[in-house]
């Protein structure tokens, strides 16, 4: 573990150099302990794959004082974390919602239905949010579906697109460029600034994709637009 400065307003606690669940759990437990301990000067904590960034107010505390405070909390970071949720996200893997499904099937030596079954049959861990507001980096993808990013990234990826690349899967909250393989789409909104918690998902949550057909997708999208749809959610035992 290393303590690293990130400018004069942030401290990074780095736990390792790989992307794996054990490191993620270390990061998430320390994050939970810091957030529950009211450490002086802490403004915000940001979990990533293998590190935790702690933003602080330099008029209230210093890098040295914050490092001492965090070091004192590391013994508590072995405690079980609570508050995570399992989200059941509707996903349509049909037609225009899955423009890369056939290519993914060809590249992996599977049928399109096999790809859908594998992708929707796994439960994914939200490692971190990044790239776009509410964009979840989720793992771990079944090994049979692991592929490098596309050789020709798209200039425009539709919002709600469900994508895979390397060992991860993700959902694009907004239209943006993107180089991942698009194998489906969800009609839910991952980020809304007016919500009490703008990002629907949080690091440490879990996601299960629930296949729906095109008709159901359109019905859910309409219900989302009228704010009459809620994503199924239940507490997750960490």
Each residue of 64-102: pLDDT tens digit? 999 999 999 987 766 667 789 999 999 999 999 999 999
Residue 180 near residue 149 (C-beta atoms within 8 A): yes
Q: What is the pTM of this model?
A: 0.94
Instruction: For residues 72 and 131, state if they share a domain.
Output: no
Instruction: For residues 106 and 34, state if they share a domain.
Output: no
Instruction: For residues 74 and 92, state if they share a domain.
Output: no
Instruction: For residues 26 and 49, state if they share a domain.
Output: yes
Give the pLDDT score at 78.
Answer: 64
Strand-pair partners of 42: 56
CATH number (domain holding residue 108): 2.40.100.10
Instruction: For residues 74 and 175, state if they share a domain.
Output: no
Residue 14: Cβ-neighbour burial (10 angstroms; 0-12, 13-18, 19+):
middle
CB atoms under 10 Å from CB of 1, counted, come to 11
pLDDT reading at 1 higher than 70: yes
Instruction: For residues 29 and 133, state if they share a domain.
Output: no
Total domains in the fold of the chain: 2
As a whole number of angstroms, the distance between CA 9 and CA 6 comes to 7
Beta-carbon contacts of 183 under 8 Å, excluding residues fewer than 6 positions away, are 93, 98, 100, 101, 104, 115, 116, 119, 162, 163, 164
Tokens of 216: 């159901």
Give the DSSP letter of residue 7: T
Instruction: For residues 161 and 103, state if they share a domain.
Output: yes
Residue where one domain finishes, among candidates 19, 50, 78: 78
CB atoms under 10 Å from CB of 7, counted, come to 9
As a whole number of angstroms, the distance between CA 188 and CA 222 comes to 10
pLDDT band with cut points at 50, 70 and 90 for residue 236 = confident
Full domain range(s) for residue 22: 2-78
Instruction: For residues 109 and 212, state if they share a domain.
Output: yes
Tokens of 234: 């239940």
CATH number (domain holding residue 41): 3.30.1360.40
Region 8-21: what's the mean pLDDT?
Answer: 95
Q: Position of tokens 């037609």?
A: 95
As a whole number of angstroms, the distance between CA 112 and CA 22 comes to 32
Give the pLDDT score at 79.
Answer: 65
Region 200-221: what's the mean pLDDT?
Answer: 98
Give the pLDDT score at 83.
Answer: 83
Instruction: For residues 90 and 203, state if they share a domain.
Output: yes
Region 124-138: what's the mean pLDDT?
Answer: 97
Query: Helix 63-73 crosses helix 21-37 at what angle (to 10 degrees)?
Result: 110
Question: What kind and span of H or E run contains 113?
Answer: helix 112-121
Arithmetic mean of pLDDT over the chain: 95
């Amino acid at each position: 573990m290393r303590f690293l400065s990130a400018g004069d307003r942030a401290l990074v606690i780095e736990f390792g150099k790989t992307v794996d669940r054990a490191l993620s759990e270390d990061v998430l437990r320390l994050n939970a302990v810091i957030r529950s301990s009211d450490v002086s000067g802490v403004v915000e904590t940001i979990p990533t794959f293998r590190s935790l960034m702690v933003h602080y107010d330099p008029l209230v505390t210093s890098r040295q004082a914050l490092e001492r405070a965090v070091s004192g909390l590391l013994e508590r970071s072995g405690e079980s974390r609570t508050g995570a949720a399992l989200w059941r996200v509707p996903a349509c893997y049909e037609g225009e919602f899955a423009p890369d499904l056939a290519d993914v099937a060809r590249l992996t030596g599977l049928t399109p239905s096999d790809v859908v079954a594998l992708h929707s049959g796994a439960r994914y861990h939200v490692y971190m949010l990044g790239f776009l507001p509410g964009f979840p980096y989720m793992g771990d993808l079944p090994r049979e579906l692991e592929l490098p990013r596309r050789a020709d990234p798209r200039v425009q990826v539709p919002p709600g697109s469900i994508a895979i690349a390397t060992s991860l899967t993700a959902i694009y909250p907004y239209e943006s460029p993107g180089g991942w393989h698009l194998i489906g789409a969800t009609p839910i909104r991952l980020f809304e600034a007016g919500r009490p918690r703008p990002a629907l998902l949080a690091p440490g949550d879990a996601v299960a994709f629930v296949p729906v057909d095109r008709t159901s997708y359109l019905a859910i999208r309409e219900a989302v637009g009228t704010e009459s749809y809620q994503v199924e959610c239940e507490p997750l035992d960490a």
